[in-house]
Structure 1
Amino acid sequence: MRSGTAVLVEESAAEPELHFQRCRWCHTTTFQRLLCPTCGSTDLAPELSAGEGVISVRRGFTAAEADLWPVHMAEGFVVRCRVDGPPHAVRPGVRVRLAPGTLGAGRRPVVRLCEEVALDGWF
């Protein structure tokens, strides 16, 4: 793998691997960038993510992106993911983990909820 790329690799229905980049100068983490967003360096080293994160607030999304959510991964970078779970449970603050053996359309990572989320009395 070239040092300037980030990819999601699926290996025969095993645990998916999400690779991100860490700047060798300022140690900022990022996902699918050519330059460090903090210092502008091109010296980005690929690393393997643990695959856990938290759904964040989304703003300014189009209809085509309605099923994508920004997920803050444990390593500090943000990636837009498709979330596999009941619609009432998909909201900011919910912990998620990479879904095993799945890739979204357009090679987007797919995440699943880590725990059950209550209905909050809506039904």
Structure 2
Amino acid sequence: MFHTGLRSGTAVQAADESAPDSELYFQRCRWCHTTTFQRLLCPTCGSTDLAPELSGGEGVISVRRGVAAADNDLWPVHMTEGFVVRCRVDGPPHAVRPGVRVKVSGAAASGRRPVVRLCEEVPLDGWY
């Protein structure tokens, strides 16, 4: 059985959360232990022996470069396990920027891209 991507989790919720937690699966190469997301081959050694693993779901927003207009709402997120996944970020526009910690919160309406929420409040920094 091969799992990658998001799968809805249980409906266990914290008091301040409105959406159920979700599970994010990534792949780890059994040969060189490189982590990746939704690939057929290991990006390091080219092996096809990739094992699915459950991510902790936490990461940090990274810098975007060369963003097409169609992908303007997607941000690269470096997950703690070492792989990068492009996500939709649920949060106020002033707070969505590189260096902000995020956690997986669900799947997008299309079911293709993970949705992450901010782990901390980000101040306006004097800009309105």
Q: TM-score, normalised by structure 1?
A: 0.92
Q: TM-score, normalised by structure 2?
A: 0.88
SS in structure 1 at match of 2:33: coil
Unaligned runs of 5+ in 2: 12-19
Return the letter of the residue paired with 2:8: E
SS in structure 1 at match of 2:107: coil
- Of 94, 107, 110, the match for 1:103: 107
- Of 5, 8, 16, the match for 2:6: 8
CA RMSD of aligned residues (A): 1.2
Partner of 2:123: 118
Kindly indicate which of the two structures has a greater share of residues assigned to strand: 2
May I ask how many residue pairs the two structures share in their alignment? 119
Deviation at 1:103, TM superposition (A): 1.3
Q: Percent identity?
A: 77
Deviation at 1:24, TM superposition (A): 0.3
Aligned equivalents of 2:35, 2:9: Cα separation in 1: 24
Deviation at 1:93, TM superposition (A): 0.3
**Map 1:1-123 → 2, pairs under 5 A:** 1-2=1-2, 5-11=3-9, 13=11, 14-99=20-105, 102-106=106-110, 107-123=112-128
| 1:33-54 per-position Cα deviation (integer Å, ceiling 9, x unaligned) | 0000000000000000000000
SS in structure 2 at match of 1:38: coil
Aligned equivalents of 1:7, 1:94: Cα separation in 2: 22
Unaligned runs of 5+ in 1: none
Deviation at 1:7, TM superposition (A): 1.9
Deviation at 1:15, TM superposition (A): 1.6
